[in-house]
Structure 1
Amino acid sequence: MNGIMKQLIIIATLIFSVGNAHAQGLGGYMLDTVYMLPEARVTEKFKNDTDRYHYNQTKYYVTTILPYLDAATKLFREIDKKVNEPGISKRERKAYVNAREDEMRREFEDRVKQLNVTQGTLLVKLVTRQTELNIYKMLQEFKNPLTAVKWQAWARFNGLNLDKKYDPNEENMLELIMEDLGYPLPVGYRAAVYANGAR
């Protein structure tokens, strides 16, 4: 009999004896206990050290841009609510958008300029994720088509498409990071993700 088999027999004997002692302590009644565990998602995060490094680097970048993501998402929701108020004129709408843009620029411009291209790309993807829209359509709606075209040209030069909706099925690592940081997938994406069987 090999060593592994002996260890298994010893472990089984210990479990059996503890179970019997427990049953005898309960007046000879053998009780079965059923534990209901919460649903758990089992994922293999890292296949190798390179994957682990890439994950940790991306998570660091994401935590760096979270204040800007939160501010941008909040700003979008406030602007969207304001411009959809009944009776607001185009002039009032434009003035409000410009005033909020200037406010954000004063608060964040210097810090945002220090982000590298990867962090900027992640910020764009995550703003798209959180608002469930694409940046190009936001620029067209809240600014003007010419501004949208200008920023789309810059984005394409840097390997990004502002006129693309966020796809959680293509961003598995980013989704793991966001969920680990307490940012669950917005409701609008969930049906498509579950339909694809990705989660």
Structure 2
Amino acid sequence: MKFIGFLLMFCCLVGEVSAQTDKPAPMVLGKNDTIRVAVTDVDGQLIPWVVCPPIRIVDTRIFANDADRDNYRRLRYNVMKVLPYARFAGQRYAKLQRDLALTGDKKKQKELISTCEGEIKTLFDKEIKNLTISQGEVLIKLIDRETGQTSYTMVKELKGGFKAFMFQSVASIFGHNLKETYDPDEQRDIEAILTQAGYNSTSY
């Protein structure tokens, strides 16, 4: 009995000590606990507005047959192959326009155009000349998408009408049309490919 009484007294003491030591710690507000946010009152309950990161929803494309799937894959390969060249053309053309706008000196303008032409020619000699006809056609369309100008218009603007005519004549031999424009509605497959690749820059 003495042992049981001692045990009961010990348990009471432990319980009392635990009750004193297990008190919840005072609440400390952090810096993020005082951020003001917009709320909406829904039946008396305030619902905070939470800004979520953008979510891309991409549908799964269903092809009618294997040939359509192969054509789409081939187009995707061609688009990704020539996209860096189209982006370079767009950025270089924009830089040239800015540089030309900063000087009224005709000689300086000719030098700027000549430098730009040299850079594009170097790129052509190294890379672009090896493109297939299909890739060249996609490139012409993407250049129009990037710059808002057809390749023909750009050549005519920078080198004159005769040069543009000569370039167009040579391009036609290889099945290209420098006057080809880009219509995002007509080129829905290309738009879808660029969107899926996370590239949405466009002059339109």
Give the conservation status (yes or no) of the 8 Å contact 2:83–2:142: no
CA deviation after TM superposition for structure 1 residue 103, in Å: 2.5
Instruction: Give the total of aligned pairs.
Output: 152
Residue of structure 2 equivalent to 1:94 = 110
Task: Give the TM-score normalised by structure 2.
Answer: 0.65
5+ long unaligned stretches in structure 1: 1-35, 189-199
Q: TM-score, normalising length from structure 1?
A: 0.66
Equivalent residues in 2 for 1:32-47 (5 A)?
40=57, 42=59, 44=61, 46-47=63-64
Q: Cα offset for 1:162?
A: 2.3
What pairs up with 1:75-94 in 2 under 5 angstroms?
75-85=92-102, 87-94=103-110
1:173 maps onto 2:189 in alignment: yes
In the TM superposition, what is the alpha-carbon distance from 1:126 to its structure 2 partner? 0.4
Check conservation: 1:175, 1:185, Cα contact below 8 A: no
The percentage of aligned residue pairs carrying the same residue is: 30
* Equivalence map 1:48-197=2 (5 Å): 48-85=65-102, 87-184=103-200, 186=202, 188=204
- 8 Å CA contact 1:94–1:142 kept in 2: the answer is no
Q: Using a 3 Å threshold, how does the CA distance of structure 1 residues 175 and 141 change in structure 2: closer, same or farther?
A: same
1:131 counterpart letter in structure 2 = T
Give the drift of 1:39: 7.8
User: Offset of 1:73 from its aligned partner?
Assistant: 1.4
The runs of 5 or more residues in structure 2 that have no matched partner are: 1-51
1:187–1:63 Cα change, 3 Å: closer
- Partner in structure 1 of residue 35 of structure 2: none
Contact 2:133 2:176 in 1 (8 A): no
Q: Separation in 1 of the partners of 2:99 and 2:164?
A: 21
SS at match of 1:169: coil
CA 1:45–1:70 in 2, change beyond 3 Å: closer, same or farther? farther
Displacement, 1:157? 4.2
Q: CA RMSD in A?
A: 2.5
Residue 106 of structure 1 deviates from its aligned partner by 2.5
Partners of 2:109 and 2:90 in 1: CA distance? 18
